[in-house]
Amino acid sequence: MLVALTDPIDPAGEAILRQAGHDVELAGEGGLDALLARAEAVIVRRKLPDDLSARAPRLLGAIRQGVGVDMIPVEDCTAQGVLVANVPGANADSVAEFAVAQMLAIARRVEAMHGLLLREGWNTARAQSATASELRGRTLGIVGVGAIGQRLAEIAAHGFRMRVLGHRRKATGLPEHIAYAPLETLFAESDYIVLACPLTEETRGLASAARLARMKPDAWLLNVARGPVVDEAALLDALRGKRIGGAALDVHAMQPLPEDHPFRTLPNVLLTPHTAGLSREAVTRMSTGAAGETVRILRGEKPRNFVNPEAWDAALQRRARLGHPAPEASPA
């Protein structure tokens, strides 16, 4: 069968697909639509159209090369019997380490010292050390204590001896080094707030004007989740008024970040281009994981990380309608 790639994957992942007998194509001159029209599966690293099933009449599966499935129209897929899978945890170490790197750079004034050393000299740069701080003893608030949040908490608590607050839908069952906190408490007491939650209707705009107003004047907001989790207008207002220490933003409401976006002009903003989860090791894990799920779906099996299990019966009907044999056994 044909597996469409919205973006390149690691060669190890492509090898898994080809060894299983599938063709693999990256969107070319004809664009993604032309490729989707012929594909039985798509491995996803960018937003797919909301009417995916109409554009991809042969599609059996949409597989996210990563965690967040907001790039896939899950509701449309479920209605049409297209299976959706992802690869949770594959980039947890990468994203957690990235957030730690951001906190260290902020605490020790690394970016400011680098710029001043080049522009104004040694002594001016060294003067930045007067405002540098350690992470030890500081409070880290994590919104979204899944695989990424738990790994970050582990590093922060055991490696830097930080106090860690966590917020998720289920308050119980957190590791002992994470204290559950309501959002209002977490925003008020944290020195660093890391957003690591999925984008849902409940989390959209979670970092609101009211919650940003509760932050300490020197606290930083770090977003490695999705851009719309933050009320961007409210954050801009807080940053311009210097009511918070700053923001480190790896994800943005509009991507790529527009050239004229005001975030680019603010000295208390650290910008990166949605790369927190893209270490060499994480890309290999995500690619091979997504390829494995794709092979399972095309064989007629349930994926291990099944996002829409309620679509299973419709998926079997779709598979039969498209002329693919039913699997001999479908693992639970």
Residue 46 sits in the same domain as residue 76: yes
Q: How confident is the model at residue 332 (pLDDT cuts 50, 70, 90)?
A: very low
38 lies in some domain: yes
137 lies in some domain: yes
Please state whether 229 falls in left (phi above 0), alpha (psi between -120 and 50) or beta.
Answer: alpha
Q: How far apart are CA 108 and CA 97, in angstroms?
A: 16
235 lies in some domain: yes
Q: How far apart are CA 332 and CA 45, in angstroms?
A: 27
332 lies in some domain: no
Residue 58 sits in the same domain as residue 24: yes
CATH assignment at residue 263 = 3.40.50.720
Count how many domains the chain has: 2
Residue 151 sits in the same domain as residue 254: yes
List of residues 6+ apart from 124 with CB closer than 8 A: 116, 117
Domain span including residue 110: 92-271
Q: How far apart are CA 173 and CA 63, in angstroms?
A: 29
Residue 169 sits in the same domain as residue 147: yes
CB atoms near residue 22 (< 10 Å):
18
pLDDT per position as a tens digit, 155-191: 999 999 999 999 999 999 999 999 999 999 999 999 9
Residue 164 sits in the same domain as residue 190: yes
250 lies in some domain: yes
Which residues in the chain belong to E strands, given as ranges? Answer: 2-5, 23-26, 41-44, 61-64, 83-85, 139-143, 163-167, 179-180, 192-195, 220-223, 246-249, 269-271
pLDDT per position as a tens digit, 188-244: 999 999 999 999 999 999 999 999 999 999 999 999 999 999 999 999 999 999 999
Give mean pLDDT, residues 96-101: 98
Residue 122 sits in the same domain as residue 77: no
DSSP, res 310: G
- Percentage of the chain surpassing pLDDT 70? 98
Residue 120 sits in the same domain as residue 221: yes
What does the pLDDT read at residue 146? Answer: 95
What does the pLDDT read at residue 328? Answer: 61
252 lies in some domain: yes
Residue 50 identity (one-letter amino acid): D
Q: How far apart are CA 227 and CA 55, in angstroms?
A: 27
CB atoms near residue 58 (< 10 Å):
16
Residue 177 sits in the same domain as residue 290: no
What does the pLDDT read at residue 165? Answer: 98
Residues 229, 204: contact at Cβ < 8 Å? yes
Residue 102 identity (one-letter amino acid): Q
Residue 115 sits in the same domain as residue 189: yes
Q: How confident is the model at residue 326 (pLDDT cuts 50, 70, 90)?
A: confident
Q: How confident is the model at residue 327 (pLDDT cuts 50, 70, 90)?
A: confident
Give mean pLDDT, residues 108-119: 95
CB atoms near residue 284 (< 10 Å):
16
Residue 36 sits in the same domain as residue 171: no
Task: For residue 97, count CB atoms less than 10 angstroms from its CB and return exposed for 0-12, middle for 13-18, buried for 19 or more.
Answer: middle
331 lies in some domain: no
**Whole-angstrom Cα Rg for the chain:** 22
- Side-chain half-sphere CA neighbours of 71 within 13 A: 20
Q: Which of 233, 252, 271 is the last residue of a domain?
A: 271
Torsion of CA 7, 286, 199, 273, to 10 degrees: -60
pLDDT per position as a tens digit, 51-77: 999 999 999 999 999 999 999 999 999
Residue 83 sits in the same domain as residue 105: no
Q: How confident is the model at residue 27 (pLDDT cuts 50, 70, 90)?
A: confident
Residue 286 sits in the same domain as residue 237: no
132 lies in some domain: yes
